Structure 1
Amino acid sequence: MVGNLKNIADELNLPFGERDKTCNSRLAQELGLWADSMGKGEEFHSLAFRAYFGDGVNLAHIPILLQLAENAGLPKNEAEKVLNMRSFKEVVDRDWAESRCKGVAAIPTFVLDDYKMVGAQSYEALARMLRENGVKTR
């Protein structure tokens, strides 16, 4: 599976470094939702993606998350308050509960009505899923 992800990342010119373990990204998810609410979600998520998948950074460490927030143009002191107060914990809890209800057990999972596709997929595979479910593609 990792080899397949690496091949896809290479094809798409996306970062994908070596990691020997998976980290708990819960706080990154909470901070990401805050970044979304502040209009800096795209910047934060892009930086977090590159840090985790490209550089193998452990997103469970608060100083790393604060640096990512600051690099995304967010106030570091506010980011720290969000993490310390767990301001977006309930929102992430709801997202996780909804995912479980939909049978999502892996990331990424693409859901369209009752159809699910699990794992990193090529553009062609995603387009085929859409076409097979009546969605027009280019």
Structure 2
Amino acid sequence: MADPITLEVFSDYVCPWCYLGDNRVKQLKENYDVTIKLVHFPLHPETPAEGRTLADMFGTGPEEIAQKNARMQGLMQAEGLPFKDRSHTYNSRLAQEVGKWAETQPGGDAIHDKFFAAYFVDQRNIGDVEVILDIVKAAGLDVDEARKVIEERAFKNAVDADWAKSHQYGVTGVPTFVVAAPDGQLHGLVGAQPLEGLEQLAQAAGAQKKVG
């Protein structure tokens, strides 16, 4: 049997389309023999520690923000995803570094869902250290070790490498999905693609459909 293909998913925890796309990637993984590799992307790296209102970020008023939230509510409900209206975005850099660390721990991949839920459902500032540590605890990981990771910026270089790969690949928006075909050529899709689009991308890379 051929080895599973690797699907690189460029993403940011504060991106609603990434939250939506993540759900579809899970469905893809249920049906195809694929390995998912999360690549962190700097969506709003200039966001201050206390966060920034969406109205300020988009340069618009409350009515337009309400319309954006209503649209996302409809999309999330169709996917069966919990979602609450957003008013702020937050700096996700430290969360990304902790996410990289978590991947080195048994069962640590679960933290990615926890970060999405903390922001899109619980409306928490995932740039705040204590909030991050609460999420680490909820994921069943070592809080003291995570605090040390944050204080020492132990996974700074790992996230820097992800950001550099985003630049190398020419990624300017997320989610972006990239696979390598059998001939080594890279294929990609941008945006919260429907499941069918992800299946076609996986098939182009030679992914095998699971049996049974």
TM-score by length of 2: 0.58
2:191 to 119, 122, 138: 119
8 Å CA contact 1:33–1:88 kept in 2: the answer is yes
- 2: CA distance, partners of 1:91 / 1:134: 26
Instruction: Tell me the residue number matched to 1:13.
Output: 80
Structure 1 residue runs of 4 or more that deviate by more than 6 Å after TM superposition: none
- Letter aligned with residue 118 of structure 1: V
Bigger share in helix: 1
**What displacement does 1:5 show?**
4.8
The count of corresponding residues between Structure 1 and Structure 2 is: 137
Q: Which has the larger radius of gyration?
A: 2
Asked if the contact 2:108/2:141 (under 8 Å) is kept, the reply is: no
What is the rounded CA distance, in whole Å, between the counterparts of 1:120 and 1:60 in structure 2? 24
User: How far apart, in 2, do the equivalents of 1:73 and 1:137 lie?
Assistant: 33
Structure 2's unaligned 5+ residue stretches are 1-16, 18-67, 181-185
| Cα offset, 1:6, TM superposition | 4.0
Q: Which piece of structure 1 moves more, 16-25 or 60-69?
A: 16-25
Gaps of 5+ in 1: none
More strand by share: 2
RMSD of aligned Cα (Å) = 2.2
Aligned to 1:37: 104
Confirm or deny: 8 A CA contact 2:73 2:85 kept in the other structure. Answer: no
Deviations 1:82-125 (A, max 9, x none): 10110000010011101110011222101134432111121122
Matched residues in 2 for 1:108 and 1:115: separation? 14
1:114-138 deviations in Å (ceiling 9; x for gaps): 432111121122223344x364565
Give the Cα separation in 2 of the matches to 1:64 and 1:4: 28
1:74 aligns with 2:149: no
Q: Deviations over 1:50-109 (max 9, x none)?
A: 111222222111110000001111121111111011000001001110111001122210
Q: Distance in 1 between matches of 2:72 and 2:88?
A: 15
Amino-acid identity (%)? 38
Q: 1:48 to 1:33 in 2, by over 3 A?
A: same
From the superposition, tell whether residues 22 and 32 of structure 1 become closer, same or farther in structure 2 (CA, over 3 Å). same
Q: Which moved further from structure 2: 28-37 or 106-115?
A: 106-115
Q: Say which structure, 1 or 2, has more relative contact order (CA 8 Å, 6+ apart).
A: 2
Q: Secondary structure at the match of 1:24?
A: coil
Q: Residues 27 and 83 of structure 1 are in contact (CA less than 8 Å); yes or no, is this contact kept in structure 2?
A: yes
In the alignment, is the contact (CA less than 8 A) between 1:31 and 1:83 conserved in 2? yes
